[in-house]
Amino acid sequence: MSIRATARIVATREGLPVLESDGPLALRRTRATGPYAGARHTSRVTVVGAMSAPLGGDRLAIEAEVRQGARLTVDSAAATIALPGRALEPAQYDVRLTVGDDAELRWLPEQLISACGSDLRMRTRVELAATARLVLREEQILGRHGEQPGTLATRLTVHRAGRPLLDQELRYGPGAPGGWDGGAVLAGHRATGQLLLVDPGFEEKPLEPRLLGETAVLTPLAGPAVLVTAVAPDARELRRLLDRVLSTEGW
């Protein structure tokens, strides 16, 4: 039997007035760490998987709203594994994020693993106020150790002050357009990810495009934002590349 579940988070300057778990998406209030530990108006939520999901046919969603002046970090306790299920239709996982004026969201989940035989459609939609800040990390691991990946389609859409900032769609695995594993895309790598940084401060001090080693690149967007795209042989190396950017840029 397929699962339909939506979890919700609302963060304000006073705390977390809404923290609603649902189905396999269990939300836990946790202690902020790193540069924001002890900072005012800062909250942290960890997503804990309460059961195996998403399976074929599941419809999962998580919504997070960070209201004016608040800071929220959302992470997860473990990787999310897309698995085949009894239902023939693909699983869907929607992430909907809203960040208000002078607010900040750090969206830092663990990796998404596309297991052999799975079929997942994942959509992330972000609405940012003009003075909002965002750190968003996405990492996809194509297949568990020694296996081929499942079918994975992801789309990331970001609007800032009501205007498009980024709209990107990626497809991997069986059924994806030819060449997804070729030299111009993954070149045999099985870990791929991106890091999106949005900061009004980039308007006065924009970052320059540059290579980050042999398999990663930092690209400024048409707005106060940069996108880091990377591929790596495994999850550990991918995380090392993306963490280095956060550390170097002081995020």
What is the C-alpha to C-alpha distance for residues 77 and 96, in angstroms, rounded to an integer? 20
What is the C-alpha to C-alpha distance for residues 202 and 220, in angstroms, rounded to an integer? 9
Query: What pLDDT was estimated at residue 233?
Result: 92
Residue-wise pLDDT for 18-29, tens only, equals 999 999 999 999
Query: What pLDDT was estimated at residue 112?
Result: 95
Residue-wise pLDDT for 30-74, tens only, equals 987 665 555 667 899 999 986 667 888 899 999 999 999 999 999
What is the C-alpha to C-alpha distance for residues 106 and 248, in angstroms, rounded to an integer? 16
DSSP letter for 67, please: -
Domain ranges of the chain: 4-248
User: What are the residue ranges in the chain where pLDDT is below 70?
Assistant: 1, 33-40, 50-52, 179, 182-184
What is the C-alpha to C-alpha distance for residues 38 and 35, in angstroms, rounded to an integer? 9
> Which structure tokens are listed for 11?
């963060």
Pairing of strands 163-172, 216-220: unpaired
CA torsion, ordered 49, 51, 52, 58, to nearest 10 deg: -100
What is the C-alpha to C-alpha distance for residues 203 and 20, in angstroms, rounded to an integer? 36
Query: What pLDDT was estimated at residue 66?
Result: 98
Give the C-alpha distances (Å, rounded to integers) separating 128 from 125, 133, 191. 10, 8, 28
CA pseudo-torsion sign 82, 86, 90, 93: negative
What is the C-alpha to C-alpha distance for residues 69 and 132, in angstroms, rounded to an integer? 9
Query: What pLDDT was estimated at residue 225?
Result: 96
